[in-house]
Chains A and B, each alone.
Chain A
Amino acid sequence: MRPVYMVSGGITKFAKSTPKKDFRYMAKESFDQAMADVPNLSLDQIDGSVIAYFSDHFTRQLMAGIMVQDYLGLTPKPSKRVESGGATGGMCFQTAWEAIASGRMNVCAAVGFETMSHVNTWKGNEFIALASDVNFDYPVGGFYTGYYAMMVRRHMHEFGTTERQLAAVSVKNHGNALHNPYAQFPAELTIEDVLNSEMVADPLKRLDICVMSDGAATAILASEEMAFRLTDKPILISGVGTGTDAMRLSDRPSREVILLDHERAEDYKDLKYPGVHSFRGGRVAAKEAYKMAGIENPLEQLDFVELHDAFTSSEIQTYEDLGLCKYGDGGKFVESGAANVNGKMPVNPSGGLLACGHPVGATGLMQSVFALWQLQGTIGQHFGGDNTLQINNAKRGLIHSHAGTGTYITCSILERGF
Protein backbone atom coordinates (compact mmCIF):
# COMPACT_ATOMS: atom_id res chain seq x y z
CA MET A 1 0.00 0.00 0.00
CA ARG A 2 1.22 3.50 -0.70
CA PRO A 3 0.32 6.72 1.13
CA VAL A 4 -2.94 8.43 0.15
CA TYR A 5 -3.73 12.12 0.58
CA MET A 6 -6.87 14.22 0.47
CA VAL A 7 -6.16 17.36 -1.53
CA SER A 8 -9.51 19.15 -1.62
CA GLY A 9 -13.21 18.88 -0.93
CA GLY A 10 -16.53 20.55 -1.56
CA ILE A 11 -20.08 20.51 -0.17
CA THR A 12 -23.43 22.00 -1.06
CA LYS A 13 -25.38 23.76 1.64
CA PHE A 14 -27.58 20.98 2.96
CA ALA A 15 -31.28 21.77 2.91
CA LYS A 16 -34.66 20.19 3.57
CA SER A 17 -35.44 20.43 -0.12
CA THR A 18 -33.62 21.63 -3.23
CA PRO A 19 -36.24 21.53 -6.02
CA LYS A 20 -34.15 23.76 -8.30
CA LYS A 21 -31.17 21.38 -8.33
CA ASP A 22 -31.30 17.63 -8.90
CA PHE A 23 -28.70 15.15 -7.62
CA ARG A 24 -26.45 15.63 -10.68
CA TYR A 25 -26.42 19.39 -10.29
CA MET A 26 -25.69 19.22 -6.56
CA ALA A 27 -22.91 16.68 -7.09
CA LYS A 28 -21.42 18.97 -9.75
CA GLU A 29 -21.64 21.97 -7.40
CA SER A 30 -19.67 20.13 -4.68
CA PHE A 31 -17.23 18.77 -7.26
CA ASP A 32 -16.59 22.23 -8.73
CA GLN A 33 -15.94 23.66 -5.28
CA ALA A 34 -13.37 20.91 -4.70
CA MET A 35 -11.77 21.57 -8.10
CA ALA A 36 -11.61 25.32 -7.42
CA ASP A 37 -9.42 24.65 -4.35
CA VAL A 38 -6.82 22.85 -6.48
CA PRO A 39 -6.51 24.99 -9.61
CA ASN A 40 -3.60 22.90 -10.88
CA LEU A 41 -5.86 19.87 -11.21
CA SER A 42 -7.48 19.40 -14.58
CA LEU A 43 -10.34 17.05 -15.34
CA ASP A 44 -8.13 14.82 -17.50
CA GLN A 45 -5.79 14.20 -14.54
CA ILE A 46 -8.60 12.51 -12.59
CA ASP A 47 -8.26 8.77 -13.16
CA GLY A 48 -11.72 7.76 -12.02
CA SER A 49 -14.38 8.08 -9.32
CA VAL A 50 -16.45 6.41 -6.67
CA ILE A 51 -19.99 7.76 -6.64
CA ALA A 52 -22.25 6.89 -3.75
CA TYR A 53 -25.83 7.24 -2.63
CA PHE A 54 -27.81 5.19 -0.15
CA SER A 55 -31.30 4.64 -1.39
CA ASP A 56 -32.77 3.77 -4.77
CA HIS A 57 -36.16 4.43 -3.17
CA PHE A 58 -35.33 8.07 -2.48
CA THR A 59 -33.73 8.57 -5.88
CA ARG A 60 -36.28 6.61 -7.99
CA GLN A 61 -33.55 6.39 -10.59
CA LEU A 62 -31.42 3.29 -10.85
CA MET A 63 -27.78 3.77 -11.86
CA ALA A 64 -27.89 7.37 -10.72
CA GLY A 65 -24.13 7.07 -10.13
CA ILE A 66 -23.34 6.90 -13.81
CA MET A 67 -25.52 9.96 -14.40
CA VAL A 68 -23.28 11.87 -12.00
CA GLN A 69 -20.16 10.45 -13.67
CA ASP A 70 -21.25 11.72 -17.09
CA TYR A 71 -22.53 15.04 -15.70
CA LEU A 72 -19.09 15.64 -14.14
CA GLY A 73 -17.42 14.93 -17.48
CA LEU A 74 -15.64 11.83 -16.20
CA THR A 75 -16.94 9.27 -18.71
CA PRO A 76 -15.49 6.97 -20.06
CA LYS A 77 -13.12 6.60 -17.06
CA PRO A 78 -13.57 3.95 -14.35
CA SER A 79 -16.28 4.51 -11.74
CA LYS A 80 -18.33 2.44 -9.35
CA ARG A 81 -21.16 2.90 -6.91
CA VAL A 82 -20.79 1.82 -3.28
CA GLU A 83 -23.67 1.56 -0.83
CA SER A 84 -23.46 0.88 2.90
CA GLY A 85 -26.59 2.43 4.43
CA GLY A 86 -25.82 5.41 6.66
CA ALA A 87 -22.09 4.76 6.23
CA THR A 88 -22.29 5.12 2.45
CA GLY A 89 -20.30 8.39 2.46
CA GLY A 90 -17.55 7.01 4.69
CA MET A 91 -17.34 3.83 2.61
CA CYS A 92 -17.14 5.91 -0.59
CA PHE A 93 -14.18 7.78 0.94
CA GLN A 94 -12.42 4.52 1.86
CA THR A 95 -13.11 2.96 -1.55
CA ALA A 96 -11.42 5.93 -3.21
CA TRP A 97 -8.56 5.49 -0.69
CA GLU A 98 -8.21 1.87 -1.86
CA ALA A 99 -8.04 2.96 -5.51
CA ILE A 100 -5.05 5.20 -4.74
CA ALA A 101 -3.38 2.95 -2.14
CA SER A 102 -3.38 0.02 -4.55
CA GLY A 103 -1.71 2.09 -7.23
CA ARG A 104 -4.63 1.70 -9.62
CA MET A 105 -5.27 5.44 -9.67
CA ASN A 106 -3.24 8.57 -8.91
CA VAL A 107 -6.23 10.89 -8.51
CA CYS A 108 -9.72 9.69 -7.57
CA ALA A 109 -12.89 11.69 -6.91
CA ALA A 110 -15.22 10.44 -4.15
CA VAL A 111 -18.67 11.94 -4.68
CA GLY A 112 -21.78 11.30 -2.57
CA PHE A 113 -25.32 12.63 -2.56
CA GLU A 114 -28.86 12.00 -1.37
CA THR A 115 -32.18 13.59 -2.24
CA MET A 116 -34.60 12.74 0.56
CA SER A 117 -37.10 15.54 -0.08
CA HIS A 118 -39.09 13.67 -2.74
CA VAL A 119 -41.29 11.91 -0.19
CA ASN A 120 -42.84 13.19 3.03
CA THR A 121 -40.94 12.67 6.30
CA TRP A 122 -42.97 9.66 7.41
CA LYS A 123 -42.63 7.92 4.05
CA GLY A 124 -38.91 8.72 4.31
CA ASN A 125 -38.82 7.02 7.70
CA GLU A 126 -40.51 4.01 6.13
CA PHE A 127 -37.88 3.88 3.35
CA ILE A 128 -35.07 4.10 5.90
CA ALA A 129 -36.66 1.34 8.00
CA LEU A 130 -36.45 -0.97 4.98
CA ALA A 131 -32.79 -1.07 6.04
CA SER A 132 -33.90 -3.44 8.81
CA ASP A 133 -34.76 -7.13 8.36
CA VAL A 134 -38.05 -7.13 6.41
CA ASN A 135 -39.04 -10.57 7.73
CA PHE A 136 -38.59 -9.96 11.45
CA ASP A 137 -37.97 -6.27 12.22
CA TYR A 138 -39.60 -3.92 9.75
CA PRO A 139 -43.17 -5.34 10.07
CA VAL A 140 -43.14 -4.99 13.89
CA GLY A 141 -43.16 -1.20 13.51
CA GLY A 142 -40.15 -0.34 11.37
CA PHE A 143 -38.78 2.95 12.66
CA TYR A 144 -35.12 3.74 13.20
CA THR A 145 -35.74 6.20 16.02
CA GLY A 146 -37.54 3.35 17.79
CA TYR A 147 -34.54 1.06 17.38
CA TYR A 148 -32.14 3.71 18.72
CA ALA A 149 -34.53 4.48 21.57
CA MET A 150 -34.36 0.82 22.68
CA MET A 151 -30.56 0.91 22.50
CA VAL A 152 -30.21 4.06 24.59
CA ARG A 153 -32.85 2.82 27.06
CA ARG A 154 -30.54 -0.14 27.73
CA HIS A 155 -27.49 2.18 27.88
CA MET A 156 -29.30 4.19 30.56
CA HIS A 157 -30.11 0.98 32.43
CA GLU A 158 -26.53 -0.36 32.30
CA PHE A 159 -24.63 2.86 32.95
CA GLY A 160 -27.01 5.46 34.39
CA THR A 161 -26.91 7.71 31.31
CA THR A 162 -29.52 10.49 31.58
CA GLU A 163 -31.83 12.36 29.22
CA ARG A 164 -30.07 15.60 30.23
CA GLN A 165 -26.78 14.12 29.01
CA LEU A 166 -28.42 13.28 25.67
CA ALA A 167 -29.76 16.83 25.51
CA ALA A 168 -26.25 18.21 26.11
CA VAL A 169 -25.14 16.67 22.80
CA SER A 170 -27.98 18.42 20.98
CA VAL A 171 -27.20 21.80 22.61
CA LYS A 172 -23.50 21.47 21.72
CA ASN A 173 -23.93 20.40 18.09
CA HIS A 174 -26.73 22.80 17.17
CA GLY A 175 -24.74 25.57 18.87
CA ASN A 176 -21.54 24.79 16.95
CA ALA A 177 -23.51 24.99 13.71
CA LEU A 178 -24.35 28.66 14.39
CA HIS A 179 -20.87 29.32 12.99
CA ASN A 180 -21.10 26.89 10.06
CA PRO A 181 -22.75 28.46 7.00
CA TYR A 182 -23.22 25.01 5.41
CA ALA A 183 -25.40 23.74 8.27
CA GLN A 184 -29.08 23.08 7.71
CA PHE A 185 -30.28 23.49 11.30
CA PRO A 186 -28.13 25.81 13.43
CA ALA A 187 -29.85 26.74 16.70
CA GLU A 188 -29.14 28.21 20.09
CA LEU A 189 -30.80 25.73 22.42
CA THR A 190 -30.97 25.04 26.14
CA ILE A 191 -31.13 21.62 27.80
CA GLU A 192 -34.77 22.44 28.63
CA ASP A 193 -35.57 23.18 24.96
CA VAL A 194 -34.39 19.69 24.06
CA LEU A 195 -36.13 17.99 26.99
CA ASN A 196 -39.37 19.82 26.17
CA SER A 197 -39.33 19.04 22.45
CA GLU A 198 -41.88 16.57 21.14
CA MET A 199 -41.41 12.94 22.18
CA VAL A 200 -40.76 10.75 19.13
CA ALA A 201 -39.73 7.38 20.62
CA ASP A 202 -39.18 7.48 24.36
CA PRO A 203 -36.58 8.75 25.48
CA LEU A 204 -35.63 10.32 22.10
CA LYS A 205 -37.25 13.66 21.34
CA ARG A 206 -37.43 15.76 18.22
CA LEU A 207 -34.22 17.66 19.06
CA ASP A 208 -32.33 14.41 19.76
CA ILE A 209 -32.74 13.37 16.12
CA CYS A 210 -31.20 14.57 12.85
CA VAL A 211 -33.40 15.84 10.04
CA MET A 212 -33.75 14.66 6.44
CA SER A 213 -31.79 16.50 3.79
CA ASP A 214 -30.86 17.04 0.19
CA GLY A 215 -27.17 17.55 -0.46
CA ALA A 216 -23.91 16.42 -2.03
CA ALA A 217 -20.22 16.35 -1.10
CA THR A 218 -16.95 15.59 -2.85
CA ALA A 219 -13.48 14.56 -1.65
CA ILE A 220 -10.54 14.42 -4.04
CA LEU A 221 -7.85 11.90 -3.10
CA ALA A 222 -4.39 11.60 -4.62
CA SER A 223 -1.09 9.74 -4.45
CA GLU A 224 1.83 11.42 -2.66
CA GLU A 225 3.45 12.62 -5.86
CA MET A 226 0.22 14.12 -7.22
CA ALA A 227 -0.84 15.52 -3.83
CA PHE A 228 2.27 17.66 -3.40
CA ARG A 229 1.99 18.81 -7.00
CA LEU A 230 -1.63 19.91 -6.49
CA THR A 231 -1.51 21.65 -3.11
CA ASP A 232 0.92 22.89 -0.48
CA LYS A 233 -1.48 21.68 2.21
CA PRO A 234 -2.16 17.99 1.49
CA ILE A 235 -3.80 15.91 4.22
CA LEU A 236 -2.51 12.38 4.79
CA ILE A 237 -5.09 9.62 5.34
CA SER A 238 -2.98 7.76 7.86
CA GLY A 239 -5.48 5.12 8.94
CA VAL A 240 -8.67 3.46 7.76
CA GLY A 241 -10.83 0.94 9.60
CA THR A 242 -14.15 -0.73 8.90
CA GLY A 243 -16.36 -2.79 11.20
CA THR A 244 -19.67 -4.60 10.89
CA ASP A 245 -22.36 -6.19 12.99
CA ALA A 246 -25.50 -8.28 12.45
CA MET A 247 -28.37 -6.55 10.67
CA ARG A 248 -30.81 -7.45 13.43
CA LEU A 249 -30.40 -5.66 16.72
CA SER A 250 -31.68 -8.86 18.32
CA ASP A 251 -28.69 -10.87 17.02
CA ARG A 252 -25.94 -9.28 19.12
CA PRO A 253 -24.64 -12.08 21.33
CA SER A 254 -22.79 -11.14 24.50
CA ARG A 255 -19.04 -11.51 24.37
CA GLU A 256 -16.04 -9.88 25.98
CA VAL A 257 -15.23 -6.25 25.24
CA ILE A 258 -12.84 -5.79 22.31
CA LEU A 259 -10.08 -3.79 24.01
CA LEU A 260 -8.15 -0.83 22.63
CA ASP A 261 -4.44 -0.45 23.44
CA HIS A 262 -5.03 1.88 26.39
CA GLU A 263 -7.75 -0.26 28.01
CA ARG A 264 -7.54 -3.23 30.38
CA ALA A 265 -9.85 -6.26 30.68
CA GLU A 266 -10.38 -5.43 34.39
CA ASP A 267 -12.14 -2.22 33.31
CA TYR A 268 -15.06 -4.30 32.01
CA LYS A 269 -15.27 -7.30 34.30
CA ASP A 270 -19.05 -7.71 34.32
CA LEU A 271 -20.02 -5.95 31.11
CA LYS A 272 -21.99 -8.00 28.59
CA TYR A 273 -20.81 -6.79 25.20
CA PRO A 274 -21.90 -5.39 22.87
CA GLY A 275 -25.49 -6.07 23.94
CA VAL A 276 -27.76 -3.51 22.33
CA HIS A 277 -26.08 -0.61 24.15
CA SER A 278 -22.79 -0.50 22.23
CA PHE A 279 -21.58 -0.72 18.63
CA ARG A 280 -19.07 -3.54 18.29
CA GLY A 281 -18.56 -2.60 14.61
CA GLY A 282 -17.55 0.91 15.67
CA ARG A 283 -14.97 -0.46 18.08
CA VAL A 284 -13.52 -2.75 15.38
CA ALA A 285 -13.37 0.13 12.87
CA ALA A 286 -11.58 2.35 15.40
CA LYS A 287 -9.14 -0.38 16.40
CA GLU A 288 -8.10 -1.06 12.80
CA ALA A 289 -7.71 2.65 12.00
CA TYR A 290 -5.73 3.36 15.19
CA LYS A 291 -3.39 0.47 14.46
CA MET A 292 -2.66 1.73 10.95
CA ALA A 293 -2.15 5.32 12.15
CA GLY A 294 -0.06 4.26 15.17
CA ILE A 295 -2.51 5.67 17.73
CA GLU A 296 -2.27 4.14 21.20
CA ASN A 297 -4.36 6.65 23.12
CA PRO A 298 -6.95 8.43 20.97
CA LEU A 299 -7.81 11.04 23.61
CA GLU A 300 -4.19 12.22 23.65
CA GLN A 301 -3.33 11.66 20.00
CA LEU A 302 -6.35 13.08 18.16
CA ASP A 303 -7.20 16.79 18.01
CA PHE A 304 -10.88 16.44 17.00
CA VAL A 305 -13.52 13.96 15.89
CA GLU A 306 -16.37 14.30 13.39
CA LEU A 307 -18.72 11.41 14.18
CA HIS A 308 -22.09 10.09 13.04
CA ASP A 309 -24.57 11.69 15.48
CA ALA A 310 -27.83 10.74 13.74
CA PHE A 311 -29.14 10.65 17.32
CA THR A 312 -27.74 12.32 20.45
CA SER A 313 -27.58 8.85 21.95
CA SER A 314 -25.37 7.48 19.18
CA GLU A 315 -22.85 10.28 19.75
CA ILE A 316 -22.56 9.20 23.41
CA GLN A 317 -22.31 5.53 22.45
CA THR A 318 -19.66 6.38 19.87
CA TYR A 319 -17.39 8.27 22.33
CA GLU A 320 -17.08 4.91 24.06
CA ASP A 321 -16.57 2.79 20.93
CA LEU A 322 -13.79 5.16 19.85
CA GLY A 323 -12.17 4.90 23.28
CA LEU A 324 -12.45 8.63 24.07
CA CYS A 325 -13.75 7.44 27.44
CA LYS A 326 -14.54 4.09 29.04
CA TYR A 327 -17.71 2.19 28.12
CA GLY A 328 -20.41 3.69 30.30
CA ASP A 329 -18.78 7.10 30.72
CA GLY A 330 -20.11 8.69 27.49
CA GLY A 331 -22.83 10.68 29.24
CA LYS A 332 -20.37 12.15 31.74
CA PHE A 333 -17.93 12.87 28.91
CA VAL A 334 -20.30 15.27 27.15
CA GLU A 335 -21.57 16.72 30.43
CA SER A 336 -18.01 17.62 31.46
CA GLY A 337 -17.59 19.81 28.38
CA ALA A 338 -14.79 17.58 27.04
CA ALA A 339 -16.49 17.39 23.63
CA ASN A 340 -16.92 21.16 23.22
CA VAL A 341 -14.99 23.07 20.55
CA ASN A 342 -12.62 24.32 23.28
CA GLY A 343 -12.73 21.04 25.24
CA LYS A 344 -10.23 18.22 25.63
CA MET A 345 -11.55 16.49 22.48
CA PRO A 346 -13.80 18.60 20.26
CA VAL A 347 -16.47 16.28 18.83
CA ASN A 348 -18.53 17.44 15.86
CA PRO A 349 -17.18 20.98 15.81
CA SER A 350 -19.06 21.35 12.49
CA GLY A 351 -22.41 20.68 14.17
CA GLY A 352 -22.54 17.04 13.07
CA LEU A 353 -25.51 15.38 11.46
CA LEU A 354 -27.86 16.79 14.09
CA ALA A 355 -27.27 20.34 12.88
CA CYS A 356 -25.62 20.07 9.45
CA GLY A 357 -28.18 17.58 8.12
CA HIS A 358 -27.84 14.00 6.92
CA PRO A 359 -28.18 13.55 3.13
CA VAL A 360 -27.02 9.98 3.63
CA GLY A 361 -24.62 9.37 0.73
CA ALA A 362 -23.02 12.79 1.23
CA THR A 363 -22.72 12.73 5.03
CA GLY A 364 -19.47 10.77 5.47
CA LEU A 365 -17.86 12.90 2.76
CA MET A 366 -19.10 16.09 4.40
CA GLN A 367 -17.16 15.00 7.49
CA SER A 368 -14.01 14.55 5.39
CA VAL A 369 -14.40 18.04 3.93
CA PHE A 370 -14.81 19.69 7.36
CA ALA A 371 -11.86 17.64 8.66
CA LEU A 372 -9.73 18.72 5.69
CA TRP A 373 -10.48 22.39 6.33
CA GLN A 374 -9.74 21.97 10.06
CA LEU A 375 -6.36 20.41 9.33
CA GLN A 376 -5.49 22.94 6.63
CA GLY A 377 -6.47 25.71 9.03
CA THR A 378 -8.92 27.13 6.49
CA ILE A 379 -12.21 26.94 8.43
CA GLY A 380 -12.49 30.74 8.56
CA GLN A 381 -11.74 31.05 4.87
CA HIS A 382 -14.48 28.55 4.02
CA PHE A 383 -16.98 29.72 6.64
CA GLY A 384 -17.33 33.31 5.43
CA GLY A 385 -14.59 34.69 7.68
CA ASP A 386 -15.98 33.14 10.90
CA ASN A 387 -13.06 31.37 12.58
CA THR A 388 -14.93 30.33 15.76
CA LEU A 389 -14.91 26.62 14.93
CA GLN A 390 -11.24 26.45 13.90
CA ILE A 391 -9.41 24.21 16.35
CA ASN A 392 -6.05 25.67 17.23
CA ASN A 393 -3.17 23.88 15.59
CA ALA A 394 -5.31 20.87 14.62
CA LYS A 395 -2.90 18.20 13.37
CA ARG A 396 -4.90 14.99 13.37
CA GLY A 397 -8.61 14.16 13.32
CA LEU A 398 -10.92 11.18 12.99
CA ILE A 399 -14.05 10.87 10.85
CA HIS A 400 -16.64 8.21 11.64
CA SER A 401 -19.52 7.06 9.42
CA HIS A 402 -22.19 4.65 10.67
CA ALA A 403 -25.04 2.59 9.20
CA GLY A 404 -28.16 0.85 10.45
CA THR A 405 -28.16 -0.13 14.08
CA GLY A 406 -24.35 -0.31 13.85
CA THR A 407 -24.08 -2.63 10.85
CA TYR A 408 -21.38 -0.92 8.76
CA ILE A 409 -19.03 1.54 10.42
CA THR A 410 -15.98 3.30 8.99
CA CYS A 411 -13.30 5.28 10.79
CA SER A 412 -10.65 7.21 8.88
CA ILE A 413 -7.77 9.18 10.39
CA LEU A 414 -6.67 12.36 8.64
CA GLU A 415 -3.54 14.30 9.52
CA ARG A 416 -1.46 17.18 8.26
CA GLY A 417 0.85 16.06 5.49
CA PHE A 418 2.74 19.38 5.42
Chain B
Amino acid sequence: MNEKKPLPFKMEEVEQGCVLYNLDPIVMKYHYEVDYIHSYAQDSPFFEGLAKGELKGSRCTKCGGTFATPRSHCMTCGAETEWMQLPLTGKVHTYTTCYFGGQEFLAETPFTLIMVEWPGVDTLFLSRLIGVAPEDVKIGMDIQAKFKRLSQFKPTDVYFVPVG
Protein backbone atom coordinates (compact mmCIF):
# COMPACT_ATOMS: atom_id res chain seq x y z
CA MET B 1 0.00 0.00 0.00
CA ASN B 2 2.16 2.89 1.06
CA GLU B 3 4.86 2.04 -1.45
CA LYS B 4 7.24 4.93 -2.12
CA LYS B 5 7.98 5.92 -5.72
CA PRO B 6 11.64 5.56 -6.59
CA LEU B 7 13.45 8.90 -6.29
CA PRO B 8 14.87 10.36 -9.51
CA PHE B 9 18.61 9.90 -9.71
CA LYS B 10 19.31 12.70 -12.18
CA MET B 11 17.86 16.05 -13.30
CA GLU B 12 15.67 15.61 -16.33
CA GLU B 13 17.21 16.79 -19.62
CA VAL B 14 15.23 19.11 -21.94
CA GLU B 15 15.74 19.33 -25.67
CA GLN B 16 14.40 22.73 -26.73
CA GLY B 17 17.80 24.42 -26.33
CA CYS B 18 18.08 28.20 -26.48
CA VAL B 19 18.71 30.94 -29.02
CA LEU B 20 22.32 32.00 -28.54
CA TYR B 21 23.69 35.11 -30.25
CA ASN B 22 27.13 35.39 -28.70
CA LEU B 23 29.55 33.70 -26.33
CA ASP B 24 31.71 36.62 -25.17
CA PRO B 25 29.66 37.70 -23.33
CA ILE B 26 26.84 35.17 -23.51
CA VAL B 27 23.87 36.88 -25.15
CA MET B 28 20.68 34.87 -25.54
CA LYS B 29 17.07 35.45 -26.50
CA TYR B 30 14.40 35.02 -23.88
CA HIS B 31 10.67 34.96 -24.69
CA TYR B 32 8.52 37.06 -22.43
CA GLU B 33 4.74 37.30 -22.84
CA VAL B 34 1.75 37.48 -20.51
CA ASP B 35 -2.05 37.44 -20.65
CA TYR B 36 -3.15 40.42 -18.58
CA ILE B 37 -6.64 40.73 -17.09
CA HIS B 38 -7.47 44.42 -17.52
CA SER B 39 -10.53 46.13 -16.03
CA TYR B 40 -11.79 49.47 -17.36
CA ALA B 41 -13.42 49.82 -13.95
CA GLN B 42 -15.09 53.26 -13.58
CA ASP B 43 -14.22 54.10 -17.22
CA SER B 44 -16.31 51.14 -18.48
CA PRO B 45 -19.42 53.18 -19.50
CA PHE B 46 -17.27 55.11 -22.01
CA PHE B 47 -16.35 51.90 -23.86
CA GLU B 48 -19.90 50.58 -23.60
CA GLY B 49 -20.98 53.89 -25.15
CA LEU B 50 -18.63 53.43 -28.11
CA ALA B 51 -20.30 50.08 -28.83
CA LYS B 52 -23.65 51.94 -29.01
CA GLY B 53 -22.32 54.73 -31.23
CA GLU B 54 -22.12 57.28 -28.41
CA LEU B 55 -19.21 59.46 -27.32
CA LYS B 56 -19.24 60.21 -23.60
CA GLY B 57 -17.30 62.80 -21.66
CA SER B 58 -17.58 63.98 -18.05
CA ARG B 59 -19.08 67.03 -16.38
CA CYS B 60 -18.24 68.03 -12.82
CA THR B 61 -21.35 68.09 -10.63
CA LYS B 62 -19.87 70.88 -8.49
CA CYS B 63 -17.82 73.31 -10.59
CA GLY B 64 -19.28 72.42 -13.99
CA GLY B 65 -15.87 71.69 -15.58
CA THR B 66 -16.13 69.50 -18.67
CA PHE B 67 -13.75 66.79 -19.84
CA ALA B 68 -13.71 65.38 -23.37
CA THR B 69 -11.71 62.39 -22.10
CA PRO B 70 -13.76 61.07 -19.21
CA ARG B 71 -12.73 60.97 -15.56
CA SER B 72 -14.89 60.08 -12.58
CA HIS B 73 -13.60 62.90 -10.40
CA CYS B 74 -12.95 66.50 -11.40
CA MET B 75 -9.25 67.42 -11.69
CA THR B 76 -10.00 70.99 -10.63
CA CYS B 77 -12.19 70.64 -7.53
CA GLY B 78 -12.15 66.91 -6.79
CA ALA B 79 -15.94 66.44 -6.89
CA GLU B 80 -17.61 63.53 -8.66
CA THR B 81 -18.43 63.96 -12.32
CA GLU B 82 -21.46 62.80 -14.29
CA TRP B 83 -21.49 61.40 -17.81
CA MET B 84 -22.30 63.79 -20.66
CA GLN B 85 -22.84 63.18 -24.38
CA LEU B 86 -20.26 64.76 -26.65
CA PRO B 87 -21.30 66.00 -30.09
CA LEU B 88 -20.30 63.67 -32.91
CA THR B 89 -18.72 66.54 -34.84
CA GLY B 90 -15.68 68.47 -33.63
CA LYS B 91 -12.50 70.10 -34.90
CA VAL B 92 -8.85 69.10 -35.25
CA HIS B 93 -6.88 70.82 -32.45
CA THR B 94 -3.55 69.35 -33.57
CA TYR B 95 -2.31 66.35 -35.57
CA THR B 96 0.58 64.21 -36.76
CA THR B 97 1.08 61.34 -39.14
CA CYS B 98 3.19 58.54 -37.64
CA TYR B 99 5.46 56.66 -40.06
CA PHE B 100 6.90 54.57 -37.23
CA GLY B 101 5.50 53.55 -33.87
CA GLY B 102 5.61 51.12 -31.00
CA GLN B 103 5.92 47.51 -32.17
CA GLU B 104 2.22 46.82 -31.55
CA PHE B 105 1.24 49.52 -34.06
CA LEU B 106 4.04 49.23 -36.64
CA ALA B 107 1.88 47.26 -39.07
CA GLU B 108 -0.70 50.09 -39.05
CA THR B 109 1.75 52.83 -40.10
CA PRO B 110 1.38 55.37 -41.51
CA PHE B 111 -1.54 56.51 -39.36
CA THR B 112 -2.73 59.96 -38.39
CA LEU B 113 -3.25 60.94 -34.75
CA ILE B 114 -5.37 63.94 -33.85
CA MET B 115 -6.47 65.75 -30.72
CA VAL B 116 -10.16 66.60 -31.07
CA GLU B 117 -11.64 69.83 -29.65
CA TRP B 118 -15.28 70.74 -29.07
CA PRO B 119 -16.48 74.29 -28.43
CA GLY B 120 -17.53 74.61 -24.80
CA VAL B 121 -15.67 71.46 -23.66
CA ASP B 122 -12.63 72.26 -21.55
CA THR B 123 -10.30 69.42 -22.58
CA LEU B 124 -9.41 67.37 -25.66
CA PHE B 125 -9.72 63.79 -26.95
CA LEU B 126 -7.03 61.70 -28.67
CA SER B 127 -8.15 59.76 -31.72
CA ARG B 128 -7.26 58.68 -35.26
CA LEU B 129 -8.19 60.53 -38.45
CA ILE B 130 -9.03 58.42 -41.50
CA GLY B 131 -9.50 59.33 -45.16
CA VAL B 132 -7.31 62.45 -45.36
CA ALA B 133 -3.85 62.54 -46.96
CA PRO B 134 -1.21 63.62 -44.40
CA GLU B 135 -0.49 66.86 -46.27
CA ASP B 136 -4.19 67.78 -46.30
CA VAL B 137 -4.82 67.61 -42.55
CA LYS B 138 -5.31 71.10 -41.09
CA ILE B 139 -5.75 72.50 -37.60
CA GLY B 140 -9.38 73.64 -37.26
CA MET B 141 -10.80 71.27 -39.89
CA ASP B 142 -14.31 69.95 -39.20
CA ILE B 143 -14.45 66.26 -38.46
CA GLN B 144 -17.05 63.69 -37.63
CA ALA B 145 -16.97 60.62 -35.37
CA LYS B 146 -17.48 57.15 -36.86
CA PHE B 147 -17.74 53.93 -34.92
CA LYS B 148 -16.47 50.45 -35.69
CA ARG B 149 -19.28 48.02 -36.44
CA LEU B 150 -17.52 45.22 -34.56
CA SER B 151 -16.55 46.71 -31.22
CA GLN B 152 -13.17 45.80 -29.80
CA PHE B 153 -13.83 47.72 -26.57
CA LYS B 154 -10.82 49.91 -27.23
CA PRO B 155 -10.64 53.69 -27.69
CA THR B 156 -10.13 53.03 -31.43
CA ASP B 157 -13.76 51.85 -31.61
CA VAL B 158 -14.30 55.52 -32.46
CA TYR B 159 -12.33 57.37 -35.12
CA PHE B 160 -12.84 60.56 -37.11
CA VAL B 161 -13.32 61.43 -40.77
CA PRO B 162 -13.70 64.82 -42.50
CA VAL B 163 -17.23 66.25 -42.43
CA GLY B 164 -19.15 65.93 -45.68
Contacts and interface: CB of A to CB of B under 8 A. Distances in A.
A120 interface: yes
A253 B123 contact: yes
B95 A150 contact: yes
Contacts of B102: 122-123, 125-129, 141-143
A151 interface: yes
Contact of B101 (A127, A143, A252, A254): A143
B155 A143 contact: no
B113 A139 contact: no
A75 B41 CA distance: 41
B69 A248 contact: yes
B156 A201 contact: no
B96 A154 contact: no
A162 to B, nearest CB: 16
Nearest to B104: A126
Contact of A201 (B38, B40, B65, B99): B99
B119 interface: no
B128 A276 contact: no
B27 A122 contact: no
Interface string A14-38: 0000011000000000000000000
Contacts of A250: 68-69, 115, 123-126
A36 to B, nearest CB: 25
A249 interface: yes
Contacts of A393: none
Interface in B114-133: 114-115, 122-128
Contacts of A157: 94, 139
A63 to B, nearest CB: 18
Given A129-B102, A253-B76, A276-B94, A141 B113 contact: yes
B101 A146 contact: yes
Interface string A155-171: 00100000000000000
Given A140-B156, A141-B105, A250-B126, A151 B94 contact: yes
B140 to A, nearest CB: 9
A271 interface: no
Given A253-B76, A276-B115, A200 B99 contact: yes
Given A135-B43, A135-B155, A136-B155, A251 B94 contact: no
A199 interface: yes
B134 interface: yes
A153 B97 CA distance: 11
A145 B32 CA distance: 25
For the residues of B in contact with A, the DSSP-based class is mixed
Contacts of B75: 246, 251, 253
A202 interface: yes
Interface residues of A, number: 44
Contact of A154 (B22, B71, B139): B139
Contacts of B114: 150
Contacts of A249: 115, 124, 126
Interface bin, chain B: 35 or more
Contacts of A353: none
B111 interface: yes
Nearest to A199: B99
B73 to A, nearest CB: 12
A201 B122 CA distance: 26
Nearest to B70: A136
A220 interface: no
Contacts of A151: 94
Contacts of B108: 141
A150 B94 contact: yes
A146 B68 CA distance: 20
Contact of B69 (A20, A143, A145, A251): A251
A142 B104 CA distance: 9
A251 B106 contact: no
Contacts of A203: 96
Nearest to B69: A250
Nearest to A138: B102
Contact of A153 (B65, B95, B99, B105): B95
A251 B71 CA distance: 10
Interface of A: 19-20, 60, 120, 122-123, 125-129, 134-137, 139-143, 145-146, 149-151, 153-154, 157, 198-204, 246, 248-254, 276
Given A150-B115, A202-B134, A276-B93, 17 more contacts: A135-B43, A135-B155, A136-B155, A137-B126, A137-B155, A139-B154, A141-B113, A143-B101, A143-B105, A150-B114, A198-B99, A201-B99, A202-B97, A248-B126, A250-B69, A252-B123, A252-B124
